[in-house]
């Protein structure tokens, strides 16, 4: 029930339509015999807040801007994250790099092409 109400929050962009749809939503469980206080307690923490004109949840507001470093995975290479953390002071000593990389970057690996991937096409 709470998940359905959260969906209403995401899909309605104005407070008036949100409140109208929540009222309609509350009437359905009441017609099926659910107690009114149960419905009110489940839906009490769902509040409509406008963020730049869109009804949105606040979990996306606190995201940091990540700058990933993508490298091809090679098993014979040393652990790239350990090397980067050991030499992080060199990046912080450079003024231009210090502005770009205020926090350590996210390191991710992409899979190397296999012989199967080279020889066989996925699309016909």
Summarised one tens digit per residue, pLDDT across range 15-58 is 788 788 888 888 888 888 888 888 888 777 776 554 444 444 45
Strand partners, 69: 107
Rounded to 5 degrees, φ, ψ at 95 are -60, -40
Summarised one tens digit per residue, pLDDT across range 62-106 is 556 677 888 888 888 888 888 888 988 998 999 998 888 888 888
| Helices vs strands, H then E, count in the chain | 7, 4
Residue 30: helix, strand or coil by DSSP?
A: helix
> Sign (positive/negative) of CA torsion 59, 60, 63, 68?
positive
Cα–Cα distance for residue pair 9/12, rounded to 1 Å: 6
* pLDDT above 70 (res 8): yes
CB atoms within 10 A of CB 69: 14
- Ordered by start, the domain boundaries in the chain are 2-60, 68-111
């Amino acid at each position: 029930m709470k998940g359905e109400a959260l969906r209403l929050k995401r899909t309605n962009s104005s407070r008036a339509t949100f409140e109208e749809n929540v009222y309609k939503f509350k009437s359905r469980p009441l017609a099926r015999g659910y107690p009114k206080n149960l419905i009110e307690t489940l839906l009490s923490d769902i509040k409509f807040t406008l963020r730049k004109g869109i009804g949105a949840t606040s979990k996306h507001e606190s995201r940091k801007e990540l700058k990933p470093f993508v490298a091809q995975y090679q098993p014979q290479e040393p652990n790239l994250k350990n090397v980067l953390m050991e030499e992080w002071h060199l990046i912080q000593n450079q003024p231009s790099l210090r502005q770009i990389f205020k926090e350590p970057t996210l390191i991710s690996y992409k899979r190397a092409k296999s012989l199967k991937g080279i020889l066989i096409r996925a699309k016909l």
